[in-house]
Amino acid sequence: MATIKDIAEQAGVSRGTVDRVLHNRPGVNKEVSLKVKTIAKDMGYKTNRAGRLLAAKKKPLKVGCLLPDIGNNFFESIIKGFEKAYDENKDFGLTYIILHIKGFEVLSHLKEIDNLVKQNCDALLLTTIDHPLIIKKINALIDSGISVACVNTDIPKSKRLFYVGADYFKSGQTCAGILNLMTKTKREILLLNGSYKMFGHNERLKGFIDTLDRNNTDYHIVEKDETLDDIERAYLITKKALIKYPEINTIYLGAGGSDGVGKAVLEERADNKPIVLCFDKVKETMHYINIGIVDATVTQAPFNQGYFSLKYIFEYEMIYNKKKKIDDYICPTHIYIKENL
């Protein structure tokens, strides 16, 4: 494998010059630069991770993560993923901080992004809102040389470098796929979305309906509502619906709130349980799967979302020197039932 030293010898220049050329740093004669570049190409030069990373220790990378995780334990696994990626790369000069916030208010998100920048982050990992002001902010950051990637929630129209997260539509389709597997009799569905303001939740719902329609599933939506990721609200809605509509035989829960739904089902339908399908694998959901109230849950590898986003942005900065495009990473869609929990 060709090294900088090899190239320098071939080109009859010093290693410093080669380094300057390879990083497009100013102050190199055009002809020399061209010569070095062609030689590097000819020799198939690839920067060596070990050398690069050892030298990089002097100038560590600080990544700032914005996580609207207050009051939402879905994000626990993402944080575990961050920790793992940090662990593997801290010796190579990686540091990171997490800013925990609550909810999805544009102004508070904007403020906290600035907050991360003020703390001298070189790169940002954001779980934020697809909104014109945020897009503008991300684009400005990118233009100023700060790398930004999206985690869990994409903002495709911005200049963000890459997205690591779920394919919500597919998770909804998978949920419908399970339902079709389970029974062919007519489904009377209580449809509980998370929030109609959330792009991901809506996509999920679309995917669910899409697959039901595509398979000519015999179904009828008895009632629909939003849980707003609120347990109490989920409980009340479910309880009321189950009382009012005894025909309900299926519950779709598009986001948080399994604790409330589970409780309501236990109270109203302990013996004639409807099919209950939900998303993500937080503690409460696992509990209701274990006791047989929730039949299945669809997840999108949240650990991976944390792990790969941090790993990739680190590699983008520290190994590829911002010169290689990083592909989006769409997490695999998994189904969990009691037996493989």
Helix axes 258-269, 231-244, angle to 10 degrees: 30
Residue 8 C-beta: closest distance to DNA, Å: 7
The CA–CA distances, whole Å, from 339 to 180, 289, 290, 292, 296 equal: 20, 9, 9, 11, 10
Q: What are phi and psi of 34, to 5 degrees?
A: -60, -45
Taking CB under 7 A as the criterion, the residue among 50, 143, 185, 339 binding DNA is: 50
Residue 169 C-beta: closest distance to DNA, Å: 40
* Strand, coil or helix: 127: coil
Confirm or reject binding of residue 47 to DNA (CB under 7 A): yes
* DSSP run (H or E) holding 97: strand 94-100
Q: How far apart are CA 105 and CA 84, in angstroms?
A: 29
Confirm or reject binding of residue 44 to DNA (CB under 7 A): no
> SS3 sequence, 38-51?
HHHHHCCCCCCHHH
* Strand, coil or helix: 328: coil
Compute and round to an integer the Cα radius of gyration of the chain. Answer: 25
Confirm or reject binding of residue 26 to DNA (CB under 7 A): yes
Question: How does DSSP assign 148-162, residue by residue?
Answer: EEEESS--TTS--S-
Residue 87 C-beta: closest distance to DNA, Å: 16
Give 94 or 134: the residue with its C-beta nearer to a second copy.
94
Residue 280 C-beta: closest distance to a second copy, Å: 15
The neighbouring-strand residues paired with 299 are 334
Residue 40 C-beta: closest distance to DNA, Å: 10
Interaction partner, residue 334 (a second copy, DNA, none; CB < 5-8 Å by kind): a second copy
Confirm or reject binding of residue 145 to DNA (CB under 7 A): no
Give 169 or 235: the residue with its C-beta nearer to a second copy.
169
Answer yes or no: are the C-beta atoms of 172 and 300 closer than 8 Å: no
Confirm or reject binding of residue 23 to DNA (CB under 7 A): yes
Interaction partner, residue 106 (DNA, a second copy, none; CB < 5-8 Å by kind): none
Give 52 or 239: the residue with its C-beta nearer to DNA.
52
Q: How many CB atoms lie under 10 A from the CB of residue 247?
A: 9
Taking CB under 7 A as the criterion, the residue among 41, 57, 157, 220 binding DNA is: 57
Kindly indicate which of the ranges 25-33, 177-185, 308-316, 326-334 contains the residues binding DNA, using the contact rule CB under 7 A: 25-33
Q: How far apart are CA 127 and CA 114, in angstroms?
A: 14
Instruction: List the x/- string, 273-312, binding to DNA by CB under 7 A.
Output: ----------------------------------------
Interaction partner, residue 174 (a second copy, DNA, none; CB < 5-8 Å by kind): a second copy
Q: Kindly list the residues in this chain that would bind DNA in the complex (CB under 7 A).
A: 1, 3-5, 12-17, 19-20, 22-23, 26-29, 32-33, 47-48, 50-52, 54-59, 321
